[in-house]
Amino acid sequence: MSWKVQSNATDIDTLLLEESLFFNGNGYIGIRGNLEEGLPNDAKTIRGSYINGFHDIVDIPYGEKLYAFPENQQKLLNIMDAQGIEIWIGEDNQREKLSLHSGEVLDYTRILHLDKGMTERILHWKSTKGYELKVNFKRLVSFHTRELFHQFITLTPVSMNIPIQIISSVNGEVRNFADKDDPRVSSDDENRLTITNLSWTHEGSLVEVQTKASKLRAAALSTVTVSSNSVSYRYEMNKLSVQTIMDMILSEEITLDKRTFIADSTRYENLQESLFSIKNRTALFSFSELMNLQQDYLTTFWGKTDVTIDGDDKIQEAIRFNLYHLLQSAGQDGKTSIAAKGLSGEGYEGHYFWDTEIYLLPMFTMTNPDLARKLLQYRYSILDSARERAIEMGHKKGALYPWRTITGTECSSYYPAGTAQYHISADIAYSYVQYYLATNDKSFLKEFGTEVLLETARLWIEVGHFYNGEFRIDTVTGPDEYTAIVNNNYYTNVMAKYNLHWACKIARLVQNEDPMHWKALKSKLSLEEFELEEFQSAADAMYLPTDRTLNINPQDDTFLQKEIWDFEGTPAEHYPLLLHYHPLTIYRYQVCKQADTVLAHFLVEDEQPEDIMKDSYNYYETITTHDSSLSSCVFSMMGARVGYVDKAYDYFLETARLDLDNIQGNTKDGLHMANMGGTWMAIVAGFAGLRLKEDGLYFRPQLPKQWKGYTFHIQYQDQLLQVSNHSDGFKVKLLSGGQVNLHIWDKRYIISAENPLVITNR
């Protein structure tokens, strides 16, 4: 089966798209898939290199600023550009730059190697003067040495004795991409980096920069070596960049090895010394050896994570592509998370949203729990900021996590679709519970999870209230951003109930298993015993709106009172609606940007009977535009859950290749990370029906008629399972561990390594 994503495109539009599709990253640094030689000057390229979490602080302008509106926000910065390698062919006064848009391209292929962790370009090129050569560009961002961006170029002459000049550059003069007409992209392209050090020594070319406001520093150290004995080197510097210029006659195959080491001041105090040290350690490894280490890492990852689809090569390519880029974007240090665009672009200014917990963590939790733990540690690291935000918003206690952030403070300037989405605190609590159910990691729960659960539970007591014996939550916004500032959003209420219930359950667990730790935690939080009773009372009395006439859960108290949006009268070019209608216009109608109540039914299915979930699905499907990339995967999962397998498959197709086929038209700005996580969920939680519950794993397996079968792996409480569903039956094999409790269509089974489960398909 395919482990490659391949392209032969040389047109500008596709190359701009491939800057996102072919990006390289390792969770710490991300390098967009720009061409070493660049594009024509009029191309709207987004030439980008990023460090996860590396940001500046920018002011938020308001016409009328009210209390507790955030005054500034963090903004992911595009850092030093070390991708540049220009190859000039010919005599001094007649040189031509080798590129896809000059000379004659005789053959060209670009490959993303999903199993090797690197990208490759293979170019057969002929100059207008008749010089002919083949060039192989390879590049990777190392999982072994997280600071390393490695480029390795092989030049093979076809014609003899080719005069050649290679210019390798590290450029400190960079800006972020801006588009003033698209709210999903920053409108500010101000240069926010100051070059503080630009030099060349025997250690390599060094460019160090500092941000204007946050005063964070980043540095890039680049070395270049050519295998030819006849090459001559010289170095040029100006105020903005350092260049290494190499001249030679190409008469036999040679290689160029460029290693760029990138680091920032949040990880290293002395950047220059640290980079020199890392460079010297890495010098012990050849490119081939570093490639082997990269492939070893990917082999381990795929052994736990791979999903195979039998019967559809395009979907097979897509699911591996999505999983690979999720890995490349996931922070692995406990200090960073996964931005909405990962490390593939600057969309949404590098902010972390609720996407991580609801759409991305499930895959990591069930396949790579060590990495999931690091992502959860990030949320714990900003807990104090969430406490401060709760106080700022008028609450006496609790933690209100920011809607969008990097360092922990709220970065959302539009509060109806930002701060008002209080559900993010429950989403984060939910992800801690799911991690605990998947791993039984009680030490992590004690050290991090319990505190997060208690502080987020406190928030609901602060924001909600009892009315006629029911606990209600007013003036919030749910996941559907086309409906804002409502009372009793079903999603928010049911997730708050889950949060409150589990805060009590985990508190009692810790109290019983480690009384001393519980005593210390109570003291730290000034937690009174009556608060746990409040949590349970609020959970038990939580108001979950239900309309008996329609037999659905209304999205909120007034949603069903509104007129339904005129879908037939809305031109196709007016989607997404947010780009063509004022928010107030949209808020007045029954129209959903994305799954809201339907998502709640997926996350906490035991709160409602089957018929209400199915009727709700039918109702909301007719009024949902899926203008958000977070939506179709949910309708796929819940379509399978309520018995619409064909419909579930159609929605799945919208998600699986969303970026590969540029379905939403904006993949050039960066990949849609949440949707990528959603494709994994649509298979594992949709067609296989996986749910994590207290008494074990639950499956409701179904097989789309378009496939011959599917297979995936999950880790459950330190045990590795292989799950497959083919025409001959549903099978679960325990690859490591003792035994596991399973529920298949609500019937209980126990499996072990000696006794796998095989159920003939119904």
pLDDT in tens, 656-670: 999 999 998 999 999
Q: How confident is the model at residue 189 (pLDDT cuts 50, 70, 90)?
A: low
Is the pLDDT at 229 greater than 90? The verdict is no
CA distance 480 to 594: 5
CA distance 759 to 723: 12
- Residue of 189 and 208 predicted with greater confidence: 208
306-687 folds as Glycosyltransferase (1.50.10)
Q: How confident is the model at residue 188 (pLDDT cuts 50, 70, 90)?
A: low
CA distance 359 to 340: 11
Asked whether the domain spanning 306-687 has the same topology as the one spanning 4-278+289-301, the reply is no
Which option is the CATH number for 4-278+289-301: 3.30.470.10, 3.40.50.10860, 3.40.605.10, 2.70.98.40? 2.70.98.40
For 111-164, write each residue's pLDDT tens digit.
Answer: 999 999 999 999 999 999 999 999 999 999 999 999 999 999 999 999 999 999
For 247-270, write each residue's pLDDT tens digit.
Answer: 999 999 999 999 999 999 999 999
Given the residues 481, 531, 607, 621, select the one marked as catalytic: 481
Backbone angles phi, psi at 391, to 5 degrees: -60, -45
Is the pLDDT at 567 greater than 70? The verdict is yes
Is the pLDDT at 1 greater than 80? The verdict is no
> β-strands 217-226, 232-237: how paired?
unpaired
**pTM, two decimal places:** 0.96
For 161-175, write each residue's pLDDT tens digit.
Answer: 999 999 999 999 999
Of 399, 404, 377, nearest to 389 by C-alpha is 399
Q: What is the mean pLDDT of residues 27-50?
A: 96
CA distance 694 to 613: 22
Backbone angles phi, psi at 328, to 5 degrees: -65, -20
Spell out a b/e string for 9-44, using b for 16 or more CB atoms within 10 Å of the CB, else e.
eeebeebbbbbbbbbbbbbbbbbbbbbbbbbeeeee
For 692-737, write each residue's pLDDT tens digit.
Answer: 999 999 999 999 999 999 999 999 999 999 999 999 999 999 999 8
Q: In the numeric block, which tokens belong to residue 691?
A: 């749910």
Of 490, 498, 443, 709, nearest to 701 by C-alpha is 709
Of 31, 13, 752, 691, nearest to 325 by C-alpha is 31
For 65-95, write each residue's pLDDT tens digit.
Answer: 999 999 999 999 999 999 999 999 999 888 9
What pLDDT score was predicted for residue 184? 53
Residues pairing with 57 in the sheet = 74
Q: How confident is the model at residue 761 (pLDDT cuts 50, 70, 90)?
A: low
Is 86 known to be catalytic? no
Domain ranges of the chain: 4-278+289-301, 306-687, 688-762
Other Cβ atoms less than 10 A from the Cβ of 55: the count is 26
Is the pLDDT at 469 greater than 60? The verdict is yes
**What is the residue-wise DSSP string for 61-119?**
--SS--TT--SEEEEE----B---EEEEESSGGG-EE--TTSSEEEEEEEEEETTTTEE
> Whose structure tokens read 């299915």?
605
Is the pLDDT at 178 greater than 90? The verdict is no
CA dihedral 459, 462, 467, 472 (to 10 degrees): -30
Percent of the chain predicted with pLDDT > 90: 93
Q: How confident is the model at residue 181 (pLDDT cuts 50, 70, 90)?
A: low
For 728-756, write each residue's pLDDT tens digit.
Answer: 999 999 999 889 999 999 899 999 989 99
> β-strands 96-97, 470-473: how paired?
unpaired
> β-strands 757-759, 739-744: how paired?
unpaired
Give how far the C-alpha of residue 727 lies from the chain's centroid of Cα atoms, to the nearest Å: 33
Which option is the CATH number for 688-762: 3.30.70.20, 1.25.40.20, 3.30.450.20, 2.60.420.10? 2.60.420.10
